[in-house]
Structure 1
Amino acid sequence: MTDIPIRDATADDHKQLSALFDDYRVFYRRESDPEAAARYMGERLANGDSRIFVADDDGTLVAFAQLYPTFSSVDLGTMWLFNDLYVDPSVRRQGVGIRMMERVEQLGRETGAAKLFLRTERINTAGQRLYETAGWQLDERFLTYQKYL
């Protein structure tokens, strides 16, 4: 397992973080748009409306995780939407992903969240294996609906 440190992202990470975020979006079959990625991540960093963790390999960011706070009426508490996780291909299968998952869980515990949740594509089998290895359980009771506007 790698010993690459996981830490909170800062404004100084903006350029590298935005590049990773653009790669993440391309992974999900979106057109590369470095300017929009930089704008979006700049807003998150400036507004503090998400939590972003990065894996920092001696000044080179090689992974990020982004979460958004929300609420659960049923669970009577807060929860975190674990929306984004991306590990650069050069460091995959070296333990970076599982360490990011551990940091995400630590955030949930530190903030007293009722739960963490995430969605992933059915075809993202590598991600699914990672989530299950980290102790996450597939929710087969609920369906997800969405409507693009």
Structure 2
Amino acid sequence: MHIIACELQHLDAAADLFNQYRMFYEEADDLPTARAFLQNNLETGNSRIFLLLDDNYQAIAFAQLYPATCSLAMKRFYWLYDLFVAPHARRGGHARTLMNHLTATFKAEGAQRLSLDTARSNTAAQALYESLGYQAEQDFITYHQMLND
């Protein structure tokens, strides 16, 4: 297994996984728009994307993280917004491998923390995160006001 920081040359592989990820969450199959979205994020530095490659250098998992700043700690942190393992590669420890890589990478960069959200129904992801030492938020309530569809 190999983990790489996604660059424009890896865009097609990342876009395919991202499109599958969106369909997993019942969004429409739209590879061109998914590709354009990731391309914009890479070109602007809006997000950081990591790919897990199998031994044949085929992308089988990805993670997309968005940088943020904790005002109280006055330090950078990252929101893990997207994590996906291709269906044929699941149950092989790939998400754990990718998560451990992210933790090591951002810790070495001096980030304060990694934060994430997951669906209440995604018990497999919750079990993974808790086994890695993540703790469910107990002190804050998240609110959203949708501004556009």
Determine if the TM-score, normalized by the shorter chain, exceeds 0.5.
yes
Unaligned runs of 5+ in 1: none
Aligned to 1:112: 110
Tell me how large the CA RMSD over aligned residues is: 1.1
Cα distance in 2 for residues equivalent to 1:59 and 1:41 = 20
Runs of 4+ displaced beyond 2 Å: none
Size of the alignment, in residue pairs? 146
Cα distance in 1 for residues equivalent to 2:145 and 2:105 = 30
Cα distance in 2 for residues equivalent to 1:46 and 1:76 = 26
2:38 maps to amino acid: M
TM-score by length of 1: 0.92
Secondary structure of 2:133's aligned partner: coil
Write the deviation string for residues 22-50 of structure 1: whole angstroms up to 9, x where unpaired.
11111112112111101001112222221
Aligned to 1:128: 126
Does the 8 A contact of 2:19 with 2:30 survive in 1? yes
TM-score by length of 2: 0.92
Unaligned runs of 5+ in 2: none
Aligned to 1:66: 64
Aligned to 2:33: 36
1:31 maps to amino acid: A
Secondary structure of 2:17's aligned partner: helix
Calculate percent identity across the aligned residue pairs: 35
Cα distance in 2 for residues equivalent to 1:136 and 1:106 = 14
